[in-house]
Amino acid sequence: LFVSGPLAQDSEIALEGAQAHYLGKVMRVAVGDAVIACDDETGEWACEVVSAGKRDVVLRARDLLRVREDVPDFVLCAALLKKPNFDLVLEKATELGVGAVQPLVTRRCVADKLNPERAVSIVTEAAEQCARTALPRIKPVLKLEALLREWPDDRTLFFADEQGGEPAARAFTANPGPAALLVGPEGGFDEEERAMVRSHPKARAITLGPRILRAETASISATALWMAVAGD
Ligand code: SAM
């Protein structure tokens, strides 16, 4: 259960809304019960229920069980997709351990908005499911042009290009350090966008093989590969 922290030894936190409902009504916790909570700042705590009301549940942090994990310095810059497909990308990117997701709007995007609360709830559920002690940051939606304009000098932007590039695993191994992956929408990038990305000084075009993958497959498979090669 992710709670807003930071938690500290013997600190108390009052949960309301969906979290109180889940603990109070679904799990039927009672005073004295043990609950494990994570604050995305210090780590995972063994907590004790100190009050369980109809609308709120209060927890007291007892012992720090796991210090918050180190998050790989990898940003997934993914063009927005139809809702279920982007939801899948958020879920799998969380499982794989990305540090942040940067949703993008590009010329061929069919979607141009992302509900930030919904996105956070998807990544929170995914992190809880696989016992992560950190959540990926969901950055505000950006246009591709703005992303490239503001790109930092110290981060490699691996550009997943279905028209070809360096084999992904080789490019990941040859470029250690802060990284990001750029993946287009269902219809891909247009030629002007491709040229703009390819001419960016920090971009390196990569291929994920000779087949054209669906955008969500490209995001998930390239992220898995980067994590296997560099994501300690
Ligand atoms: N423009 C293409 C078309 O409509 O035929 C397809 C775009 S593909 C569905 C969506 C995105 O996935 C691309 O923009 C690219 O970033 C990524 N992608 C798909 N296959 C890839 C591959 N073999 N290598 C690298 N990236 C790939």
Ligand 1 pocket, residue 189 CB under 6 Å: yes
Q: How far is the CA of 88 from the centre of ligand 1 (A)?
A: 17
Ligand 1 pocket, residue 207 CB under 6 Å: yes
More confident residue, 107 or 25: 107
Residue with CA closest to ligand 1 atom 9? 214
In Å, the largest CA–CA distance within the chain is 62
- Whether residue 5 is predicted with pLDDT greater than 90 in this model: the reply is no
What's the mean pLDDT in 204-211?
A: 98
What's the mean pLDDT in 195-203?
A: 97
- Whether residue 62 is predicted with pLDDT greater than 90 in this model: the reply is yes
Q: How far is the CA of 127 from the centre of ligand 1 (A)?
A: 27
State the pTM of this model: 0.94
Q: 46, 27 in Cβ contact below 8 A?
A: no
- Whether residue 69 is predicted with pLDDT greater than 90 in this model: the reply is yes
pLDDT band at 37 (very low <50, low <70, confident <90, very high): very high
Ligand 1 pocket, residue 74 CB under 6 Å: no
Complex ipTM over 0.95: yes
Ligand 1 pocket, residue 53 CB under 6 Å: no
Structural domains in the chain, sorted by start: 12-67 (2.40.240.20), 74-230 (3.40.1280.10)
Q: pLDDT by residue (tens digit) across 88-147?
A: 999 999 999 999 999 999 999 999 999 999 999 999 999 999 999 999 999 999 999 999
- Whether residue 179 is predicted with pLDDT greater than 90 in this model: the reply is yes
Torsion angle (degrees, nearest 10) of CA 230, 219, 71, 198: 70
Mutating to test ligand 1, I would choose from 85, 109, 162 the residue with most ligand atoms within 8 A of its C-beta, which is 162
What's the mean pLDDT in 178-192?
A: 98
